[in-house]
């Protein structure tokens, strides 16, 4: 194979491995900010976590899973109000509409983190992996913090 053919050959394969659309998608990264986990007495095996998720792209993207080596399971929940009753509903996914931000907070969308592998105290850091419907994974370090506002305990 001469040099020119080798060149064309490699471009051809590069195109197969990395179609130009894949580059465009890669550039549109969902960003996660202000993530934290609420400190709880060590006897509590279910912790609440929060994060802000920003989708800068022109299409809606869903958070479809969260995983961590530090917890047995992580779910997406939303508080639902029925008159004076508040209950939590597990969400299969959390849609972040195009060019918008979802603000998780006590009383709205939140994460429920089950069975921490070690006792967690303020300023401890755990690593969470957020998986999105566009195939993108975002790994972030999340700090455990004391809740500042009044405590909305979770009853399971
Ligand atoms: Cu919950």
Residues 108-141: tens digit of each pLDDT: 999 999 999 999 999 999 999 999 999 999 999 9
**How many angstroms does the Cα of residue 104 sit away from the middle of ligand 1?**
11
| pLDDT number for residue 111 | 98
Mean pLDDT of 93-100: 96
Half-sphere exposure of 24 (CA within 13 A, CB side): 6
The sign of the dihedral angle between the CA atoms of 117, 121, 125, 131 is: positive
Distance CA 108, CA 49 (A): 11
Q: In the predicted model, is pLDDT for residue 74 greater than 80?
A: yes
What's the CA-to-centroid distance between 20 and ligand 1, angstroms? 40
Residue pair 131/65 in contact (Cβ under 8 Å)? The answer is yes
- What tokens does 88 get? 């939590």
pLDDT band with cut points at 50, 70 and 90 for residue 13: low
Query: How many angstroms is it from 76 CA to the middle of ligand 1?
Result: 7
Q: What pLDDT score was predicted for residue 147?
A: 85
Tell me the CA–centroid distance for residue 5 and ligand 1, in Å. Answer: 59
Instruction: Give residue limits of the domains in the chain.
Output: 32-145
pLDDT for 11 equals 58
Topology of the domain comprising 32-145: Immunoglobulin-like (2.60.40)
pLDDT band at residue 29, thresholds of 50, 70 and 90?
confident
Contacts of 101 (CB under 8 A, 6+ apart): 52, 53, 54, 55
Are 30 and 54 a contacting pair, CB within 8 Å? yes
Instruction: Report the predicted TM-score, pTM, of the whole model to 2 decimal places.
Output: 0.77
Residue 26 Cα, ligand 1 centroid: separation in angstroms? 31
| 22 pLDDT more than 70 | no
Q: Between the CA of residue 108 and those of 91, 131, 152, 154, what are the distances in Å?
A: 12, 20, 11, 12
């Amino acid at each position: 194979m001469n040099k020119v053919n080798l060149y064309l050959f490699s471009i051809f394969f590069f195109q197969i491995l990395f179609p130009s659309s894949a580059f465009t998608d890669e550039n549109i990264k969902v960003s996660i900010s202000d993530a934290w986990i609420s400190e709880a007495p060590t006897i509590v095996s279910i912790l609440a976590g929060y994060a802000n998720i920003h989708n800068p792209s022109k299409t809606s993207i869903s958070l479809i899973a969260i995983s961590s080596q530090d917890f047995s399971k992580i779910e997406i929940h939303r508080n639902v109000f029925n008159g004076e009753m508040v209950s939590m509903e597990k969400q299969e996914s959390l849609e972040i509409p195009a060019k918008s931000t979802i603000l998780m907070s006590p009383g709205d969308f939140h994460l429920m983190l089950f069975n921490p592998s070690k006792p967690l105290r303020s300023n401890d850091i755990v690593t969470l992996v957020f998986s999105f419907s566009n195939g993108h994974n975002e790994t972030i370090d999340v700090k455990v913090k004391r809740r500042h506002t009044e405590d909305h305990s979770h009853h399971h």
